[in-house]
Amino acid sequence: MKFADREDLLGAAMLGPALAYVILLVGVPFVLAIMLSFSSATAGSLTLTWAGFRNYSTILADPIFLRSLRNTAIVTIGSQVLVIVLATAAAQVFRAAFHGKRAARFVLLLPWAVPVSLAAIAWTWIFDSTFSVINWTLKVTGLLHGWLYWLGEPGLALFAIIIVQAWRIFPFATVIVLAGLSSIPQDVVEASIVDGAGFWRRLFKVELPLLLPVIAVAVLFGVVYTATDLGVVYILTGGGPANTTHVLPTLAFQRGVLGADLGQGAAIAVFLVPFLIVVAVLMLRVARRAEIGAGGGAR
């Protein structure tokens, strides 16, 4: 058989370059990240000196690191809970037909389309300590009597970070849930209506269980996007005030890149891996379920 008809050779030739690129520029750096975390490498020199678990023992004894680990969990969980609620509700609204829906959808998608860093700088201006329009509005409506230093106080700053992360991810989750809603078999929904189920009963007993895999996918991407995000915290607070709002990525950047301590920076970033493994395993389970479902449906 000629080369032009050998599917195996053609397949390998077409897949090879992409596979090689991914292995060289994702696989190798990933391993290198783990190796660096066990070394005392600095940005200046190119040597890799084995340092055992020293970087890990250093950061585990460091209250700023422990706080950043906690902040990462708080921000990720807090924002994703908000995302689930907002996205499920928004999907219920946007599945209906109404006037101006195209314009509404355009606005809804804006937070997902805008570059993270530009959204973060806009929010920085919105949360400004002197000019915050939120403070003005709260004061005029009589809800606020003192003053809120949004990015100047640790608790408020974390709250602001959660709001921005939820804001930027819920449109994405909404669209995914909408895609899921459109694939729910209509006869199931109609049967529940015939059986006399109202809106809430239908939502919680029929639709949400069927939507679970789709919501899971949206949340899993949301977890990855939030837990590993550097831009929002870096621009909004820079980890401040007094290093209280760092998350793992910003602390890894501060120590590893700005502080030139590659080993410690890598060790901090490696703590993202458990988040990612959990997400990957859950995604595989969702995908396998969907595969079985699709296969069963086709036959």
Partner 1 sequence: MKRVGLYVAALGFMAFAGFPFYWMFITAFKQNRDLYVGAFDTHHVPWIFNDPPTFEHVRLLFGQTDFLRWVANTLLVIVAVVIITVVLAVPAGYSLARLAGRWGGRLGMGIFFTYLIPPTLLFIPFSRVVALLGLQNSLGALILVYPTITVPFCTWLVMGFVRSVPWDIEEQAMIDGYSRLAVILRIAPRLILPGILTVVVFTFTLVMQEFVYALTFISSVDRMTVSLGVPIALVRGDVYHWGSLMAAALFTSIPLAILYNLFIDRFIQGFTMGAVKG
Contact yes or no for 261/28 (Cβ under 8 A): no
- Give the binding-site size for partner 1 (rule: CB under 8 A): 114
Token pair 């809603």: residue: 181
Regarding 125 and contact with partner 1 (CB under 8 A), the answer is yes
Q: Which is nearer to partner 1, 12 or 188 (CB)?
A: 12
* Residue 72 Cβ vs partner 1, minimum distance, rounded to whole Å: 11
Regarding 143 and contact with partner 1 (CB under 8 A), the answer is no
Q: Which is nearer to partner 1, 27 or 152 (CB)?
A: 27
Of these, 51, 69, 206, 217, which contacts partner 1 (CB under 8 A)? 217
Regarding 84 and contact with partner 1 (CB under 8 A), the answer is no
Regarding 66 and contact with partner 1 (CB under 8 A), the answer is no
Regarding 206 and contact with partner 1 (CB under 8 A), the answer is no
Q: Which is nearer to partner 1, 112 or 159 (CB)?
A: 112
The maximal CA–CA distance of the chain, rounded, in angstroms, is 83
Regarding 80 and contact with partner 1 (CB under 8 A), the answer is no
Regarding 88 and contact with partner 1 (CB under 8 A), the answer is no
Q: Which is nearer to partner 1, 78 or 249 (CB)?
A: 249
* Residue 58 Cβ vs partner 1, minimum distance, rounded to whole Å: 16
Near partner 1 in 244-283, by CB under 8 A:
248-249, 252-253, 256-257, 262, 265-266, 269-270, 272-273, 276, 279-280, 283
Regarding 104 and contact with partner 1 (CB under 8 A), the answer is yes
